[in-house]
Amino acid sequence: MKIIADNQETKKVTQSSIKEAAPKIGKDESVEKSSVSVVDVEISARAKRIQDISDVVKAIPDIRTEKVDELKKEIREGTYNVSSDEIAQKILEEIVSTVF
């Protein structure tokens, strides 16, 4: 990874100086580019591992299409059954987990 930084000294620019300078710069005026230096940065093994895990998690789909297709088929065929006991149990578990 490379980070581009200003040459030797970093200039501090306040919001007020930006507001003052903005109207003075016309659209046709060119802004002088300052020279830049390149800084090498090493990423720790731990940070690299975290990034790799993050990439894997992002690749996992939010919807399990196989499960959705199976449920759609059961509903369409009239074979989808819902257990009222299981629903009641899940509702109670949700209440307990949010209260305590």
Taking only the tens of pLDDT, the chain with its 100 residues reads 445 544 444 444 444 455 555 555 555 455 455 566 777 778 888 989 999 999 999 988 888 899 999 999 999 999 999 899 999 999 999 999 988 7
Q: Write down the pTM of the prediction.
A: 0.33
- CB-based contacts of 39: which residues, under 8 Å, 6+ apart? 2, 3, 4, 5
Q: What are phi and psi of 81, to 5 degrees?
A: -120, 135
